Each structure stands twice: as C-alpha cells, then as structure tokens.
Amino acid sequence: MSGTGQSGLGENPSLQNSTSKDRLSWGRLVAFALPAAPISALGLPLVVHLPHFYDRHTTLTAAAVGLIFMIARFWDVFTDPVLGLLSDKFETRWGRRRHWIVASVPIMLISVFMVFMPPEGAGALYLTFWMFFLYVGWTLLTVSHMSWGAELTPDYHERSRVQGVREMLLIFGMVFVLVLPVLSAYLVPAESRPEAVTLMGWFVIIFLPITVCIAVSSVGEVKTPQPDHFTWGEAVALVKRNRPLQILLSADLFSGIGNGIVSSLFLYLALDVLMLGNFSNVLLLVYFISGLSFVGPAIWLSNRVGKHKAAIFSSLFSGLTVPLIFLLPEGNYVLSALCWTVLGVNMGAGPFLFRSIMADVVDHDAVESGHQRTGLFYALLTSTNKIGYAIAIGISMASLDWLGIETGKENTEEALFGLQLIYILPSFTISLIVAWLLSYFPLGEVQQRANREILAKRTLDAAAEAIAVRTIEPVNVNSAVSEGAPRTDP
C-alpha cells in the first residue's frame, strides 16, 4: 500500500496540493465548531460535578450514584451504533448529518433542565430516567457533529485542523462554565447563590440552540456515497477484520477508563486530600486554559510527525506527569495551580487526534469494503470512550464507599492515601498502555493519501460510467427506430 501511495503522489499533482485546495476558511471552521462549546459545557459536569452533586444533595449514596451513571453510560453505548447507522442511512435536502443535530436540540433542552435542576426528593428512578433521555439527545448531537466534521475535508492534515478547532471550542466551553460559579461567588450573595451545576445547565440551555442554528445555516455538507445496508453481524465482523479500527478503539477504550477515573474523583481529591476548597473550580479552570493554549502546538506536532505518533507522545506525557500530584502539600494553591498547568498541557491533544485518525480509518475501510460508513465508525469511537467512562465512574464511586471517604468531613490518612493511589496509578498505567497500542497503528500520511487517490478514482469511474450509460441509451433507441422496431416511451 505504501508503495502505491508514493507513486500515486508523484504522478498526481492534485494530491500533492490537496492541503491548499481543501483548506477550509476560518469562518466556516469556527461556525462548524461552535456547538462544541455547549456540548463540552454539558460533558464536563456529567463526569465531574453531577455525581458529586447528587452524592451531596440527595439521599443516594456515592455507590448508588456511580451505579446509575454507569448504567446510563452503558445505555448510551447501546444507542451510539443504532443512531450512527441512522445518521449514515437517512439523507434529506440538508444532507445526512445536520437534521439529526437539529432534532437533538429539544431533547437536550428538556433533559438538561431536569437533570441539572432536580426537584426536592429526586431519587434513583428520577435520575435514571432523565439520564437515559439525556443520552439519546447527546448521542444524536455528538455522533452527527463528529461525522459531519470528518466529511468536511479529505486531506490528512486538514482533518487535524478541523478536529483541533473543534477541540478548542470544546475546551472553551469547559472554561466558560467553570468561570460561571467563580463569578457567581463574587457577584451573588451567598443566601441566593445558585448551585454551580444549575448555572452550567442554563449555559447549555441558552447557547446550544444558538450555536446549532449558526452551524447548520452557515456550513454545508460534502456529498458522500450512500452507504449500503448491513446487519449487526456484519458490523461486528467489520471490527474483527479491520486492524487500524481495532487499535484505535482499544486505545480509546483505555483512554476513557483513565480519563473517567481522574474526572469523577477530581473534586474528592481537590476538596478532601489537597484541601483546596473553592479553589477547586479555579484549578479546573487553570487546567482547561492550559489545554486550550496547547491545541495549536499539538496540531503542529501532528503535522510534523504524524497523528498517531503525536498521540503516542501525548499519552506518554500524561502518564509521566500525573505522579506529580503525590508531591503536592495540603492547601498549597500555587503549587497545585502549577501542577495542573503541566497536566493540562496535553489534555486536548488525545481526543482531537483520535477523531482525526478515525476519519483516515473510515477511508481505509471504504477502500477495503467499498462502503462509506462514517456515522457508524464515529459511533463506535464514542461508544468505546463511553464504555471506558462507565467502567471508571462505577469503580471510582464504589471505591469512595469502600475507602469510607465522606466529602467535607474528617477522613483517615489511610483512606485519603488510598484515594490518591486510585486517582494516580491507573492513569499512569493506562497512559503507557495507550502509547504501546498506538505504536502498532499502521496508517500514516502516505497510506491515507493513497487511499484518497483510490477513492477519487472510483468516484470518477462511477461518474464516467453514468455518463456513458446516459449517452448510449438514446443511440440504441434511434437504432431501433431506424431498423423498424416499435418505439416505446422511456
């Protein structure tokens, strides 16, 4: 394959210039990426703030909250491939993705209100029902938005730029919702101050419809081939025979476990081990601002060494820096901020690189199978990450009960040290596993450009065949008339 790719690049000038030809304007990129801000404004509290909120403000135990969030995540995993297939199959005059994004908005608005602003006495059934409903809308929105982004450009490096800009908006959304409670603490009297999760919920409710409206009305879709119908058995077989897909999904699964553990336990670590109080939200803010600042350098590194090699570096960096938390003394705001600045350097790199790599895996599958299945592939990518998060949150919240951690109360030294170990050691180990898995990833720039050449040639051949058929048919009719054969209406 690589030999074919090299010769193809040498013989086809259009492929050599694909970066400039396929480069998207900044206006289109930002308009497309805008919905990522409210998406992340919802995603952050789902894994960081809401479990802690329901643990503190309801009669549910930490283990019960963790179980509900884990079950809801597994429900989301089930809906991902179903809605991914629907996203691929049904096309309207808007295209194949945008109508699903619009359809997700009312579902999201209702469910966000119910989950983020629960009534008094909300219990297990209430939380379970609305979490299930929320994840239906979440899947419609995120799978369709990522698939749309993957299809905006065929270029290897431009795909990193598209997903990088989307990642920047994702991080911006996280930063903004973290600023809200900080501003509220200074501007609103304590007796009338809303909960942080309430402010986050209103941010999503207000800005999701606005950003979706801008995106779907400003950015069109690129026409892609209609995918053929196939069964669940064929979908499973697809994963079994596609080695690049296996490696990427495995790496994403482990990443989801590692990220899920540190996300769900962050507030417990910051409040009960590091004793940082209200500075905890500021610490998250520092973390995400650091991540936002380094998305650009991560794109540059990806362009220099390739996507999967940049992702390997990203994973190793994460694994080698997380043990710095062991060195932090209690109540030291400055050192904690410096530590989370370092940890945040690369927080955005892995997610956008994985999404960019998946677009290349879709091309590889299209070459091998003849099918275009972008929605399904991105549904699989979100599924593995969600499975990882589901496993992580279930284990993390159950471990709090096992250790006897009670937030805001006196905890034993052994319990607090156990919390540190559960926060740090799995993340360290998983980062090394992800780097090892990605070292076997077989697709690079040369292979991807060769795949795009094959797909472009197939499109041209299909168009030429269609033209030939339309040209030949009238000749046959005329020939039939000249020979005295009866003529029929077309």
How would DSSP label each residue in 68-98? HHHHHHHHHHHHHHHHHHHHHH--BTTBSSH
Q: Which domain holds residue 91?
A: 27-220+236-465
Asked whether the beta carbons of 35 and 208 are under 8 A apart, the reply is: yes
Using alpha carbons, select from 45, 319, 44, 32 the residue that is nearest to residue 164: 32
Q: Residue 95 falls within a domain, yes or no?
A: yes
The burial of 184, by beta-carbon neighbours within 10 Å (0-12 exposed, 13-18 middle, 19 or more buried), is given as middle
The partner residues of 92 in beta bridges, in order of sequence, read 95
Query: Cα separation of 68 and 125, whole Å?
Result: 9
- Contacts of residues 3-7 at CB distance under 8 Å and 24 or more positions apart, as own/partner, are 4/450, 5/446, 5/447, 5/449, 5/450, 5/451, 5/453, 6/446, 6/450
The CA-atom distances, in angstroms, between 283 and each of 274, 294, 399 are 11, 17, 24
Using alpha carbons, select from 339, 316, 349 the residue that is nearest to residue 431: 316
Q: Residue 18 falls within a domain, yes or no?
A: no
Q: Residue 486 falls within a domain, yes or no?
A: no
What CATH number is attached to the domain comprising 160? Answer: 1.20.1250.20
Query: Cα separation of 5 and 367, whole Å?
Result: 13
What is the per-residue pLDDT for 60?
82
Asked whether the beta carbons of 311 and 160 are under 8 A apart, the reply is: no
Q: Residue 307 falls within a domain, yes or no?
A: yes
Q: Residue 73 falls within a domain, yes or no?
A: yes
Q: What is the pTM of this model?
A: 0.68
Query: Cα separation of 191 and 181, whole Å?
Result: 14
What is the per-residue pLDDT for 14?
34
Q: What is the DSSP string of 341-402?
A: HHHHTTTTHHHHHHHHHHHHHHHHHHHHHS---HHHHHHHHHHHHHHHHHHHHHHHHHHHHH
Using alpha carbons, select from 185, 141, 148 the residue that is nearest to residue 38: 141
Contacts of 322 (CB under 8 A, 6+ apart): 262, 343, 424, 427, 428, 431
Asked whether the beta carbons of 317 and 345 are under 8 A apart, the reply is: yes
Using alpha carbons, select from 165, 199, 192 the residue that is nearest to residue 34: 165
Tokens representing residue 409 in the block: 């109360």
Asked whether the beta carbons of 411 and 405 are under 8 A apart, the reply is: yes
What is the per-residue pLDDT for 485?
41
Asked whether the beta carbons of 383 and 73 are under 8 A apart, the reply is: no
Number of domains observed in the structure of the chain? 1
What is the per-residue pLDDT for 7?
33
SS3 for 45? helix
Q: Residue 410 falls within a domain, yes or no?
A: yes
What is the per-residue pLDDT for 408?
64
Q: Tens-digit pLDDT profile for the chain (490 aa)?
A: 333 333 333 333 333 334 445 577 888 889 999 999 998 888 888 877 888 888 878 888 878 888 888 888 777 677 766 666 666 666 667 777 888 899 999 999 999 999 999 888 888 899 999 999 998 888 888 888 888 887 787 777 787 788 788 888 888 888 888 788 777 766 666 666 667 788 889 999 999 999 999 999 988 777 655 555 555 566 666 667 788 889 999 999 999 898 888 888 888 888 888 988 878 878 888 888 888 788 888 888 888 888 889 999 999 998 999 999 999 998 899 999 999 999 988 777 777 788 888 888 888 888 877 777 777 787 778 778 778 887 888 888 888 888 887 766 777 888 889 889 999 999 999 999 999 999 999 888 888 888 878 877 876 766 666 666 555 555 444 444 444 443 333 3
Q: Residue 460 falls within a domain, yes or no?
A: yes
Tokens representing residue 284 in the block: 């998250």
Q: Residue 255 falls within a domain, yes or no?
A: yes
Helices assigned H by DSSP within 117-195:
124-150, 156-187
